[in-house]
Amino acid sequence: MTSNLMNSNALCLEIEPMIQAQTWQQSHALATPNSQWTAYLNQLCWQTLLPWLQEDYLPTATVTPHVVSLPTFWELTTGTALRLNDRRIILIPTETIDLDEFRIPQEWVDIPTWAGDYYLSAQVNPDEGWVRVAGLATHRQVKTQGLYDMGDRTYTLSDTDLTPDFSSIWVAQQLAPTENLRSELSPIAALSPTQADNLLERLGNPTVLTPRLAVPFEQWAGLLNHGGWRQQLAERRWGVVGVRSPVQWLQSGLSTLAQSLGWQAVTLQPGMAGARGEGQESGVGWGQSLLIQDQPYELRLSCLDPAQNTWRFELQSLVPGGQIPTGFVLRLLTEDLQPFEGNEDRAMTPVDRLFLEVALESGEGLVWEVEPMPQGYDCEILRF
């Protein structure tokens, strides 16, 4: 895959023509010309670099969270996160010809759930069909050596501050695998649901061309720090509603977008034990496949009583005869990520399934979690 397209020692990779055609088409789902171009560059960047990383360094390298969530980041800013073992690398693509500086959006540096161990500057040239790795820096370098620009909320490093050789990551991993590469960050203040709703209403309008600069960073970070609110903001800007509403799924079936997010209709078997020992009637529910510690599981959701708005969440193994291991937890949280009485089921010994049943107010939102965290997990708010 490596090409000598440039008279430079920097790594330069060719963009596959099929990837270029597909990503151009997919990018048009975003709300504005700017976010469409951002999505296009980011897709070209990671879809070119990741196969090279998997082939030359680490077969298990992956984007994070799941690929279907990536457009919700690109609608709001530029950058893509990769997971390489225990290290997190943030790819920042640029079209700039003169790479004398590396500009990194503040979101990827100062929001703890977004921050990376390394930041990689990638020059993308769609016309000539290549991606060039310009260099990389650690989070600590960005915070201590980078210049912060309040105007566009970016950190800027000089090209002389960057390490040009990507293999240095692997050398560092061997010499100091547990070294902390990040500066300490202050926690992001949580928003109330009312604050979040107000921001979603205002910034969800696509006529706000640069929502990341439209409100103080503290509010913006509070919104993006919650994966469910980040998704809602992007989906509002796309004009998409009801994507994560099981009540609407019950009435009209799963939308195409809901299916792309991993939800599929499943047939429920009769006689499943309920929380009070009651049998559950057979019918249709929804399932999402999960990979936890390299093993397949399924999260299932079903409506026990539409009139009472009562719902059941269930986790089970997809391995024939498999059980839920000791220590696994199925947990539900309120929309603003608060626990409530009876909100989790924990496996004290290996069990066939974990399950929770809840009665909800109309329009109430819930967030589901599984511990250990599934691969590619991205917090989502289900609206009931």
**Average of per-residue pLDDT values in the chain:** 90
Distance CA 333, CA 360 (A): 12
| Domain co-membership, 213 together with 261 | no
| Domain co-membership, 226 together with 257 | no
Q: What's the mean pLDDT in 87-113?
A: 94
pTM of the model: 0.90
Helix (DSSP H) and strand (DSSP E) numbers for the chain: 11, 20
169 within a domain of the structure (yes/no): yes
| Domain co-membership, 33 together with 104 | yes
| Domain co-membership, 299 together with 154 | no
162 within a domain of the structure (yes/no): yes
Cβ neighbour number for residue 165 with a 10 Å cutoff: 13
- Eight-state DSSP code of residue 48: H
**153 and 213 in contact (C-beta within 8 Å)?**
yes
184 within a domain of the structure (yes/no): no
Distance CA 231, CA 71 (A): 9
Cβ neighbour number for residue 275 with a 10 Å cutoff: 13
**pLDDT at position 46:** 97
6 within a domain of the structure (yes/no): no
**What's the total number of domains in the chain?**
3
| Domain co-membership, 215 together with 325 | no
Reading the block at residue 162, the tokens are 């960057």
| Domain co-membership, 22 together with 129 | yes
Choice between 240 and 300, residue whose per-residue pLDDT is larger: 300
pLDDT tens digits, one per residue of 146-171: 999 999 999 999 999 999 887 777 77
With a CB cutoff of 8 Å and minimum separation 6, the contacts of 354 are 314, 315, 316, 324, 328, 329, 330, 345, 346, 347
Residue 275 predicted with pLDDT over 50: no
pLDDT tens digits, one per residue of 111-133: 999 999 999 999 999 999 999 99
182 within a domain of the structure (yes/no): no
| Domain co-membership, 32 together with 73 | yes
Identify the domain containing residue 46 by its residue range: 12-175
| Domain co-membership, 26 together with 164 | yes
Amino acid (1-letter code) at residue 162: L
| Domain co-membership, 205 together with 128 | no
Q: What's the mean pLDDT in 197-206?
A: 97
Across 10-24, 258-272, 337-351, 365-379, least confident range:
258-272
Residue 97's pLDDT band (boundaries 50, 70, 90)? confident
Residue 378 predicted with pLDDT over 60: yes
**pLDDT at position 244:** 87
185 within a domain of the structure (yes/no): no
Q: Is 320 exposed, middle or buried (0-12, 13-18, 19+ CB in 10 A)?
A: exposed
| Domain co-membership, 233 together with 258 | no
54 within a domain of the structure (yes/no): yes
Q: Estimate the crossing angle of helix 227-237 against helix 217-224, to 10 degrees.
A: 100
Which sign, positive or negative, has the C-alpha torsion 348, 369, 324, 375?
negative
Q: What's the mean pLDDT in 46-62?
A: 93
180 within a domain of the structure (yes/no): no
| Domain co-membership, 220 together with 165 | no
Across 5-9, 151-155, 201-205, 283-287, least confident range:
5-9
Supply the DSSP string of 265-294, one letter for each residue.
Answer: EEEEPTTEE-TTSPEEPPEEEEEEEEEETT
Sheet of 381-383, strands arranged across? 344-346, 329-334, 365-371, 381-383
**pLDDT at position 57:** 86
Select from 187, 195, 194 the least CA-distant residue to 225. 187
| Domain co-membership, 109 together with 166 | yes
